[in-house]
Chain A
Amino acid sequence: MADLRCPMCGKSNPPQSEVCQYCQARLKPLVAPPSTENEPEPSSDSEDLFPAKDDALPNWLDGLRENDEPRTESQEEQADEDGVETWSSEEEQRLSSAFTFSSEEASDTDEDWLARLTGDQEHQPEDQAPLQDEPAESSASAAFLDIDEVAGDESSSEWLAEFQTSSLGLEETSETSLPSDDQGEEVVTEGDRPHWLDLIRSQQQKESELTAPMSSQDEDLEGNQIWGDKPVDKEGESDWLSDIGMEEGEGELTIDSKDLPDWLVESGAFRPESPVESEQAFPGWLAESDLPEDEPAPEAGEDLPDWIAASPAAGSGEINKPRQDLPDWLSNVSEQEVDQSGLPEPVESGEGEDFSAEEEGGLPDWLTKLDATAGEQTPGRGVPALILDEDEEAFAAPGVDELETQTDEDISTVPDWLTQVAAQEDVVEGAAPLDGEAEPDLATAQLPSWLQAMRPVESAAPSAPAAKEKDKVVEKVGPLAGLAGVLPAEPEFVHLSKPKSSLVKLQVTDNQQTHITLLENLLAEEGQAKPVPARSAITSQYFLRLLIALVVFISVIAPLWLNRQLLPLPEPAGVSTEVYDFSQTLAGLPSGAPILVAFDYEPSFSGELEALAAATVAEAVGRGAQLVMISTNPTGPLLAERLMTTRMADVNPGYVNLGYIPGGAAGLLAFAQTPRDLNPFDLQGTRVWEVAPLASVNSVSDFALVMVLTENPDTARSWIEQVQPALGAAGKPMLMVLSAQAEPMVRPYYETNPKQVNGMISGLAGGAAFESISGMEGVARLYWDAFGTGLVIAAALMLLGGIASLVLALISKPDTSEGKGAL
């Protein structure tokens, strides 16, 4: 099997490949299986040039393969209804090969793709699809495009060959049977051919009878005559175009307007009432091309189909130089056109037509009719696509001027090659004008329904070329790479005209507008934090709190208000050992010895610790100690000042307030090592280390005693761990005045051996015990009754609450109350 050529990159791939090995493009299109109803059976006699009946093929393409098979109405209807072109893999291969270059051809970007249709005899397209029926596209441009796409490389030559040899609706069944493809596909039978093609063929036949012998259509039909594969006989024996002529004996070809596409009728190229004239043999679609007036004919090898280039310019009357790459038959046709005086005048195709009759001999009649009919057309009108017969009423094609005045929309339906055909008309030289005398009495052709369906939309009907195509753009990528004059991927009209504003106006219904508004509101709310509803502050728990607070408040205030010593202080004999040791340590202080007192408690605990501090500091002052105050708490110095100015005001001892030690434990360690450097001044800014009591102090171990007042067990540990080693080495004691909550953490330091804490007082109970030992009545005595009463009441409340909770838990359903929270 032949290698598959990738339609994208043009490289060969194994035949069994599904995707290209190089660019991963799909080689075999994914097509839906087409309907196999009423499909004519392929001809077994003819070589099948087309692939096997593929459901993906369009009906018109399938129909073209069928030989002499009447086209049923259902087939026609189906063909008309087919709106989607589907191609078999072989089709695509042919197309791809038509529009991609091999390695040899890749460099030759200027090579005329149409030239390959004629000159490349190696290409054996597997199938060809002579134009028998067109898909139900509303625009004729689709037909043009189809023809363009099909008329590619060797694959395109196939269909043209088929077109040459196949029945185009203008011949009888036996005579107009199309050559089948290599795979034995049937050619299109007469019944499947459009009527207008039959008309064209019959016209040609008439021409052939009248003129030099042309290639027999039988010979063309029976063989696998692919247009381009075999040199066309100069006499035109294999000239497919001869097949287009009228049947023998056929008189004037009357083409019903109904059979013609509307655009052909309206364009005026076709006059349904008048007899079809040979001069107007050009179908409208061929004439409706934006052929620039002054555009020179493209050179050989460019993107003109040769058969067009070979034919004489109908409008201008000029004939290009003989093209070397024209098939012989076309060349002969050109010569024939020149030699045959009896040929009808070439159709006036206007200035844009680009037919070059390089070889006058062997020019098919329809081409001669092109010139003839073009001449009869109004100036400026384009070359008709087909010359049916000199006696037939040709499809009048719009002149070039008309083409040039086409709107952009119109241009979009006209293939470029047609514009170039019109442009080449200007420079056609030497070509004998065809006998373009249009027969005045051509009957109006009746357009078949399918052709009428192809009629382009009025607004998009090409009338005149929009711009002269001066620079032929060579396509660079895609299946049309290397071809010039092809439709660009982005047609120019896209850039030339702006869409009408009315076309982009969005019609929004009320329901849609409602949805739009809703969506906008949702998006706007997305960035806004929604307020969370606040909980009510008044709950049942609020009253419980109030009740508990009231009870505790009364239990504490009442003893204070009554001022009656209801609860006795602890007995001195019954005090704890740590309190006793504390007292003993203080009692052993030498007179006048400096002691360091650290006020490291928070103001919130001043209610508890001031009572203890007042008693202990007073005892120390009573022993003659000189107080040096310091703190690792920013509020400590002020607490010391408060104590000395309020509680000790009547005593008024001398003291030094060194202020605050920053850095926590690190600061303590630094102070323990070099206290002079860390706090050289007191709170008033006085250098106190030069005078008593600090004149003899160089380190913390020089103090007689260190007493720490704190509620924080961590602070107590810091003092013990950072400062006590130095004290212990010097045999100096450390005493602790603690809040009740810190006692468990500090007690181990007291109970260790050797003791790291020589004595401690914890809580108001310890203060009361100390006062009892010391024989003083201080703040502890004042608070003792309220303290005791409050403790009892609080305990009672907790006990009651616990019992109530237990009872409620037992009464209610079992519930996991652990971790039960607000969430």
Chain B
Amino acid sequence: MRTPISTAVAILVGLLILLGYFIPLEPLLSLRVMLLQWAVILAAFALLVGVVNLFRVHWIKVKTGQPAGFYSFVLIVALGLTLAIVGYYGPTSAPSVWIFSYIQVPVESSLMALLTIVLAYAGVRLLHRRLNALSIVFLLTVLVVLLGTAPLLFIGEAPVLNLIRDLIVQIPAVAGARGLLLGIALGAIATGLRILMGADRPYGG
């Protein structure tokens, strides 16, 4: 009984939202806004559920003594402390901002820096991993954009490189991005229609 009911609800709500977007009827618009607000509320609660799931997974890791359980313990302690401080002092209080400014932002920024190293390494190994014409074009494009973005050391601005970089970014990159976005949009529409038809049921298992 659960699967047919959930499928029926999903199809009905999806049709209402879709029709409400295309057909400017007042009842449909109101219903669409109401359903979207419900979805927003559910998404917020889903965030809380996700946090609980995160806590539970790491708690089991600590409890069962799995490898890297110490890091799970640190995560649990950090989660608890942050919840306590922000909940007590408020999200815009000094301690909360201090935690965010001096712990989270640096950590994530460092990860971003690490990403730079990883991407550089990936660029170095690109042709070794996948040697073909497209990879060579890819690598050359990367080099042109990199060198055309900022002035070169000891050289300064390179107008040719700047021009080529602008051309690449504004024409083939945009065109390729548009094409990819169109294809992704078609795939998204197909996925949505499959869910509206009930062929895909990611909600009911």
Contact = CB atoms under 8 A, between A and B. Distances in A.
The binding surface of chain B is classed by DSSP as: helix
B92 A684 contact: yes
Contacts of A747: 169-170, 174
Given A663-B43, A819-B130, A791 B100 contact: no
Given A683-B92, A763-B149, A791-B147, A801 B109 contact: no
B191 interface: no
Interface in A424-477: none
Given A549-B117, A603-B108, A662-B43, A745 B90 contact: no
Interface string A783-823: 01001111110110111111001101100000001111000
Given A603-B109, A638-B97, A744-B173, A800 B124 contact: yes
Interface in A611-650: 634-635, 637-639, 641-642, 645-646
Interface stretch (B5-13, B71-79, B138-146, B197-205): B138-146
A798 B130 contact: no
A48 B92 CA distance: 118
A210 interface: no
A243 B126 CA distance: 110
Given A544-B124, A646-B101, A669-B36, A602 B143 contact: no
A501 interface: no
Interface of A: 544-545, 548-549, 552, 566-568, 570, 576, 602-607, 634-635, 637-639, 641-642, 645-646, 657, 662-664, 666-667, 669-670, 673, 683-684, 740, 743-745, 747-748, 763-765, 784, 787-792, 794-795, 797-802, 805-806, 808-809, 817-820
Given A567-B150, A567-B151, A809-B128, 13 more contacts: A567-B156, A568-B151, A602-B108, A606-B108, A635-B104, A638-B97, A642-B101, A662-B44, A666-B40, A788-B153, A802-B136, A802-B139, A806-B127
B36 A663 contact: yes
A676 B170 CA distance: 39
A641 B120 contact: no
Nearest to B131: A817
B174 A744 contact: yes
Contact of A818 (B41, B132, B181): B132
B18 interface: no
Nearest to B181: A745
A605 B123 contact: no
29 contacts: A567-B150, A567-B151, A568-B156, A603-B100, A603-B105, A604-B112, A607-B113, A641-B100, A642-B97, A642-B105, A662-B41, A662-B43, A662-B44, A670-B33, A673-B33, A744-B174, A745-B177, A745-B181, A765-B149, A788-B150, A788-B152, A794-B120, A795-B147, A798-B126, A798-B142, A800-B124, A801-B128, A809-B127, A817-B131
A354 to B, nearest CB: 72
A548 B122 CA distance: 11
B169 A743 contact: yes
Contacts of A745: 174, 177, 181
A714 B109 CA distance: 21
Nearest to A660: B44
Contacts of B127: 801-802, 805-806, 809
B191 to A, nearest CB: 16
B83 to A, nearest CB: 14
Contacts of B120: 548, 552, 794, 797-798
B22 interface: no
B47 interface: yes
B150 A607 contact: no
A670 B40 contact: yes
B125 interface: yes
Interface in B139-190: 139, 142-143, 146-147, 149-153, 156-157, 166, 169-170, 173-174, 177-178, 181
A100 B111 CA distance: 92
Contacts of B109: 603-604, 606-607
A762 to B, nearest CB: 9
A808 B127 CA distance: 10
Given A795-B146, A798-B143, A604 B124 contact: no
B152 A792 contact: yes
B116 interface: yes
A747 B111 CA distance: 28
A548 B117 contact: yes
B131 A663 contact: no
A604 B105 CA distance: 6
B57 interface: no
Contacts of A639: 105
A545 to B, nearest CB: 6
A263 to B, nearest CB: 74
Nearest to B149: A765
Nearest to A794: B120
Contacts of A549: 117
